[in-house]
């Protein structure tokens, strides 16, 4: 019999559920071995993600985790067609869980099928980022932590999953650097400067000591009980402040990361440097930000070029004014 693959985590509910799911696909749905193998690969990706996040069964997975999983898969460079099939695999697994899973469910809800065109990431304007980052009040330990957390996400572009595993030893404020362990155990060093460095220094001096319960705790970001903050905890912090300023509907776990990359590109940073900063294995993954910035470039053109008046999408009367007084005297 064909091996079902390396579905790890024998102390969790996933291996048994996945084996039963594959039997269900063969016996009840009559799918070919090739199709079943595709489902197996998709579900192995889900299990790998779940176990990394400490999710021991489908019932422990929230909607935010499903969204983050699909975003991470998109970032690995999976084609839109593969992402659509992955979504179909999740739906098939959900149907199996409802039928035979003993009450376990995945919170798919109205999760859409990805179109066969790469979806542009959600990006905040610089003004929106500034408003969001100003929300945490640094009057207590949690306020200092939250300010440092948001500034770090936007100031370094790290993933939430990377941020929660940062230890004190990974941060070197004197050198303005942070060592990050990314996907595939790829380590990278990202610069930390300006407001992120200031917020981190304030948190380390006045916030973290009040949160820490043990000198042996090496996690950089702590929760209110003194333990390492979880991905769910970070996402809860982000959503709390996003909701406060009316940005909740536009936020995903990667929105600050996407905004970081887009703002760098719009300010002239080479795509290859952004690839290194984000920890992308291939520049083809980073190239999606060129599509985001193309809209920005069009807006700059419409505002700035003297002959842009009448361009499709330009409101009447907008664009630069060009009069005879502006013309050179020759």
Question: Residues with catalytic annotation?
Answer: 159, 183, 254, 257, 280, 289
Helix, strand, coil fractions of the chain, as percent rounded to 5: 55, 5, 40
Burial code of 247-257, b = ≥16 C-beta within 10 A, e = fewer? beeebbbbbbb
CA dihedral 137, 139, 144, 147 (to 10 degrees): 10
**Token pair belonging to 292:** 């985001």
How far is residue 193's CA from residue 199's CA, in Å, rounded to a whole number?
10
- Structure letter (DSSP) for residue 180: E
In 3D, which of 112, 43, 115, 108 has the Cα closest to residue 81? 115
Q: Are strands 187-191 and 171-172 parallel, antiparallel or unpaired?
A: unpaired
Report how far apart, in Å, the C-alpha atoms of 122 and of each of 116, 153, 236, 271 are: 18, 15, 18, 19
How far is residue 249's CA from residue 246's CA, in Å, rounded to a whole number?
8
Angle between the N-to-C axes of helices 255-266 and 141-156, in degrees from 0 to 180, rounded to the nearest 10: 50
């Amino acid at each position: 019999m064909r091996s079902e693959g390396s579905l790890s985590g024998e102390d969790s509910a996933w291996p048994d559920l996945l084996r039963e799911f594959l039997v269900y696909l063969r016996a009840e749905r009559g799918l070919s071995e090739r199709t079943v193998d595709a489902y197996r690969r998709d579900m192995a990706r889900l299990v790998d993600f779940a176990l990394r996040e400490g999710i021991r069964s489908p019932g422990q997975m929230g909607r935010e985790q499903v969204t983050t999983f699909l975003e991470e898969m998109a970032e690995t460079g999976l084609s839109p067609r593969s992402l659509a099939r992955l979504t179909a695999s999740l739906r098939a697994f959900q149907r199996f869980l409802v039928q035979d899973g003993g009450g376990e469910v995945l919170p798919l809800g109205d999760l859409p099928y990805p179109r066969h065109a790469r979806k542009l990431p959600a990006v905040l304007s610089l003004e929106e980022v500034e408003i969001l980052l100003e929300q945490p009040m640094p009057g207590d330990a949690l306020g200092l932590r939250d300010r440092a957390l948001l500034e770090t996400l936007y100031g370094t572009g790290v993933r939430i999953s990377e941020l929660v595993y940062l230890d004190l030893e990974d941060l070197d404020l004197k050198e303005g650097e942070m060592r990050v362990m990314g996907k595939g155990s790829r380590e990278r060093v990202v610069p930390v400067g300006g407001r992120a460095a200031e917020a981190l220094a304030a948190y380390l001096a006045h916030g973290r000591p009040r949160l820490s319960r043990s000198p042996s705790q090496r996690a950089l970001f702590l929760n209110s009980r003194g333990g390492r903050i979880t991905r769910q905890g970070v996402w809860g912090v982000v959503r709390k402040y996003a909701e406060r300023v009316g940005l909740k509907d536009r936020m995903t776990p990667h929105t600050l990361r996407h905004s970081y990359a887009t703002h760098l590109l719009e300010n002239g940073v080479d795509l290859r440097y952004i690839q290194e900063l984000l920890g992308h294995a291939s520049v083809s993954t980073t190239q999606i930000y060129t599509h985001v910035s193309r809209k920005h470039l069009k807006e700059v053109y419409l505002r700035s070029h003297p002959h842009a008046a009448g361009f499709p999408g330009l409101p009447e009367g907008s664009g630069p004014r060009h009069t005879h007084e502006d013309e050179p005297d020759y």
